[in-house]
Structure 1
Amino acid sequence: MTYKPPRVTLPIPSEKIDGQTVTFRPVRDGIDSEVSGIIQVIEDANGFNVNASYVVSQDPPQSHIYWFDQSEIDALARSLLKEKRRILIVDDDRESTHLVKILLERTGGYLVLEENDAARAYHSARDFRPDVILLDIMMPETDGGEVAAQIEADPELQGTPVIFLTALVTEHEIKAGLRIEGHQSLAKPINIPELINRIEESLPRTS
């Protein structure tokens, strides 16, 4: 029998949902843990279907498409209307990035995308359009300085604040105003309250 995705009514305009990166639980796939995916809105004469593709395996790479039902779409819309700040964290340490993601998203004010491959960081930034980029300096193959240079060379991304994460400097040096390549920095291990302060300081002021 052919699977028929749920028909849904969008509680907010489709352009406010389509293309958004969200965190969700694909419970009807038998997964009761949070995953991240990019929403795709499909419209036809009968209404809307909404899905997101999420990673189920890294080796080999494998993804799955999850179709949202009405209650899930309503919850996602409520979450998106809060206008969470989009944070891209680039670090080859998967455990570290995932912990930072959990702790930031737990505050309710941030939507965090993890990127553990520095070579893909620029493309992730292009797709995700973050408000702030958290960037580890020491990574294999491509270091944080190279990624920052790619960001700065892109007219659409060059204004995005970058905060370097590094174990190469001390917290005392950071508090003394040390900047790396003109960017703010934060000493590892990361102190979450201090990280939140740096993120908020980096964001444009609103009237």
Structure 2
Amino acid sequence: MSDQTKVLIVDDEVGFTEMLKLNLESVGYKVGIENDSENAIMTARRFNPDLILLDIIMPKKEGPDVFAELREHTDFRNTPIIFLTATVTHEEVDTQEGFIGGRQFIAKPSSLDEILYVIEKNIKLQQSLIQNGKDFI
């Protein structure tokens, strides 16, 4: 993981995003935060993240809607987007090997080690696919 790797956290829980930001920065990530889902696209365009952590349930606009809008932009077609949710259990995520409905999930709360594992795995996969001329989607 490079200290240039940028992670955008889109989640309406301010305390959660601030704590996760501090933890990710402590291991070398550059982290951006957006707590208002309606501003997520604008923030993503400005921050240009390598990976996005996206809460599912937020006021105004829910995560799947933000996900669909992000995928419409060519800038984010190959950006790993990982859903964060408290609506599924760790057991559900584990039995599906981290995927539900074909999308990567992290159950909240999760340990920093679990979050780092998923981030690093997705960044490596993204880099490998790009090197081989394939899309991340």
Q: TM-score scaled to structure 1, two decimals?
A: 0.57
Aligned AA for 1:96? F
Aligned to 1:151: 70
Q: Assess, with a 3 A threshold, how the Cα gap between structure 1 residues 151 and 181 changes in structure 2: closer, same or farther.
A: farther
Q: Number of residues paired by the alignment?
A: 125
Cα distance in 2 for partners of 1:122, 1:136 equals 14
| CA RMSD across the alignment | 1.6
- Whether contact under 8 Å (2:51, 2:81) holds in the other structure is yes
Report deviation, 1:83: 4.3
Aligned to 2:116: 196
Aligned to 2:105: 185
- Whether contact under 8 Å (1:88, 1:132) holds in the other structure is yes
Cα distance in 1 for partners of 2:26, 2:66 equals 27
- Whether contact under 8 Å (1:164, 1:180) holds in the other structure is no
- Whether contact under 8 Å (1:87, 1:134) holds in the other structure is yes
1:137 aligns with 2:81: no
Aligned AA for 2:87? L
**Runs of 5+ in structure 2 lacking a partner?**
132-137
Higher relative contact order (CA 8 A, sep 6+): 2
Report deviation, 1:107: 0.9
Q: TM-score scaled to structure 2, two decimals?
A: 0.85
Q: Deviations over 1:158-195 (max 9, x none)?
A: 11101100011111111122524532100011311100
